Amino acid sequence: MTPLLSVQGLTVHFPVGGGLSTRSHEVVHAVDDVSFAIERGQTFALVGESGSGKTTVARAVLGLNSPTGGAIVFDGHDLTALKRGARRRAMGDVQVVFQDPYSSLSPRMTVHDVVAEPLRARSDLSGRELNERIVTLLEMVGLGTQHLWRRPHEFSGGQRQRIAIARALALEPKLVILDEPTSALDVSVQARILVLLEELQRELGLAYLFIAHDLAVVESIADRVAVMYLAQIMETGAADDVLHRPRHPYTHALIRSVPSPDPERRADLGIIAGEVPSAITPPSGCRFHTRCRFRMEVCDSVYPEPHDTGGGRLVSCHLPDGFDLDQGVTTR
Amino acid sequence: MADLLEIRDLRLQFNSMRGTVKALDGVDLTVREREIIGLVGESGCGKTITGLAVLGLLPRPQAEVTGGQVLFRGEDLLALDGRELEKMRGRLVAMVFQDPLASLNPVFTIGDQISRVVRIHKKVGRNEALEATRTALAAAGLPPDEALLDSYPHQLSGGMRQRACMAMAISCGAPLLIADEPTTALDVTIQAQILRLLLDLRDELGIAQILITHNVGVAAQTCDRIAVMYAGSVVEQGRTTDVLKHPRHPYTMALYDCLPQGKTASELRTIPGSVPDLIDPPPACRFHPRCAHVMDVCRSVKPGATQLSEEHWAACYWVEQQERGGAGGIP
């Protein structure tokens, strides 16, 4: 079966400057040659630090950024090739929940209006049917009729995120893009939203494109994961496999840098030095080579093509298969 | 080791249009010389307010201290007047905040703003202040050269800005640093570097720290001891391993269970209900409406500390009952 969403060689560049006198030929490499696929009913996570391009990928899928190159094939349609109207019809099956529920909901609209808006725009439900559908949606996310006529400021962060989820589910989408949906929430609230997202996925057969920087959150919810660094994917594979047996030095260093809440599992606070280089003039060859502990001569000049190491595991690195990142030696 | 700072039963309220916000409900906290203590809790539990109260930085007249003491080497900081507070800040206690861009002045160079701080607090000349600035920058892991001294905050990366804030905070030799979510705005790899810096400041310069964080992992990896706050009180305090590996207060246990570490979403536990409105907080133990082990007494009398070991205590009747040996306990 073809995947629900297939992103092929997606590239998004933004021009630098833009004023009359400052216009230059420089571009920000926000996303460079990124490919991945999401199966129906699956959760695919894009992880990486700020500026790695994960949100730009999501915005390109939503049609909020125009790709410089590549294709985005959703449910058999290449979204980048569609005309505006056809694209808009196809996009009803893709919905989004943003990070900050304090800015993604209009303060002037009641909960009823927020959830009704997509239904009014896209369906011919009217009157009672519309109201019943809204109540059903609110109940799905753990809210009730008593919340219908309130406005966002009367709700806590977790409740607002539930409202945003209800709005995203209104048109029965096949794919929901979740852009850091729990990053603005406290851990006890985050846990509830994660539980809710998993329940909804099971009941409705939704696919998620889950964007996050928190590896523990990703581990708890994702089936597959792609790790991004400076506009490119370093490594893709089954979430459990990538997060427990990283093959790319960046993934490895990222995992080891995360402070574990278990005081006996010491994080390696010195494993990665320096900072992310400029996305206007990214390093040649492998983009991670300036910070990599295992840098070789070839890394400076030759881009490591992603190669399949088995089981759908793609790694972009010149190190040989079987290289032990903990010990720094090849074991087989 | 000796106590550097002791907060005793600190009570504080804000008088707002909506009513009186009972923000701190008897905070007890001790900070020893040369240690990092973590103040951990969710938004609105009073972590930052506690830090600001130590430095006398709360807005007046809205904020009103209604009881308690903040003893720095035996002297009550709450009794100081404005001029004395000015002298104390920076020399005895300094603070760094979550957002380094907001805490640096955008129109002064890094060198200017740090050396100005030194000149004001230590009453020294321009050259001496510049020397102290270079020393502080080096200690914070920044190159103390002209290029950095002459750069403006917007020219630095997030990690470098936070290091510059750290340099400013330690520039006058304060033995206690209050770090309020110093890594929350940073990426994990940069966060790791800043946490390393906090440990170095403790080990090499002997600077004690109160690390305010909502991130249990950050506290676990850097703190000698941890105090867990809920709705305006410290509910459990002890060595990091005791509090996180053997939590005893029902809130600490529930909070740890909410962490997604190594669990699938369906295995995650949640805490029922939500954080109370502190204008009308629940009486007695403020956690009782959400507690899995609530008893009648929890609704009428606020629990005192039950000592679990020399270092470890929890403020909870259920814990006290267990310590007394089982189910009989309190009627």
CB atoms within 10 A of CB B296: 11
Residue in chain A nearest B276 by alpha carbon: A156
Q: What is the pLDDT of residues B192-250, one digit of tens each?
A: 999 999 999 999 999 999 999 999 999 999 999 999 999 999 999 999 999 999 999 99
Which strands, in side-by-side order, build the sheet including B225-230?
A: B93-96, B176-180, B208-213, B36-40, B225-230, B233-239, B313-314, B306-307
Positions of E strands within B157-282: 176-180, 208-213, 225-230, 233-239
Q: What is the pLDDT of residues B3-54, one digit of tens each?
A: 999 999 999 999 988 899 999 999 999 999 999 999 999 989 999 999 999 9
Residue in chain B nearest A264 by alpha carbon: B241
* Residues of A in Cβ contact (< 8 Å) with B258: 187-188, 190-191
Determine which of B18, B101, B162, B188 to mutate to test the interface with A (most A C-beta atoms within 10 Å). Answer: B188
Residue A264 predicted with pLDDT over 90 = yes
Give me the residue from B220, B255, B270 closest to A262, CB to CB: B220
Residue B61 predicted with pLDDT over 90 = no
Contact (CB<8Å) A191/B264: no
Domain ranges of chain A: 5-330
Position with higher pLDDT, B328 vs B282: B282
Q: What is the pLDDT of residues B251-263, one digit of tens each?
A: 999 999 999 988 8
> What does the pLDDT read at residue A331?
67
As separate numbers, helices (DSSP H) first and strands (DSSP E) second, chain A gives 10, 14
Say which amino acid occupies B292. A
Residues of chain A with pLDDT > 70, as a percent, come to 97
Contact (CB<8Å) A261/B259: yes
> What does the pLDDT read at residue B266?
83
Q: What is the pLDDT of residues A192-235, one digit of tens each?
A: 999 999 999 999 999 999 999 999 999 999 999 999 999 999 99
Per-residue pLDDT band for A283 (boundaries 50, 70, 90) equals very high
Residue with tokens 């060198």: B111
Residue in chain B nearest A186 by alpha carbon: B42
**How far is it, in rounded angstroms, from Cα B11 to Cα B67?**
5
Q: What is the pLDDT of residues A136-154, one digit of tens each?
A: 999 999 998 999 999 999 9
CB atoms within 10 A of CB B17: 4
- HSE-up (13 A, CA, CB side) for residue A77: 16
Q: What is the pLDDT of residues B72-102, one digit of tens each?
A: 999 999 999 989 998 899 999 999 998 888 8
Say which amino acid occupies B296. D
Domain ranges of chain B: 3-92+174-325
Residue in chain B nearest A251 by alpha carbon: B189
> What does the pLDDT read at residue B331?
43
- Fold (CATH) for A5-330: Rossmann fold (3.40.50)
Residue in chain A nearest B266 by alpha carbon: A195
Average pLDDT score over chain A: 92
Question: Chain B, 269-308: which have a CB under 8 Å from a chain A CB?
Answer: 269-271, 274-275
Pick the CATH number of B3-92+174-325 from 3.40.50.300, 3.30.420.40, 3.40.1260.10, 3.40.50.720: 3.40.50.300
* Residues of A in Cβ contact (< 8 Å) with B189: 49, 253-254, 257, 272
* Residues of A in Cβ contact (< 8 Å) with B221: 259-260, 263, 266-267, 269
Distance from CA of A15 to the nearest CA of B (A): 20
Chain A to chain B Cβ contacts (< 8 Å): 128
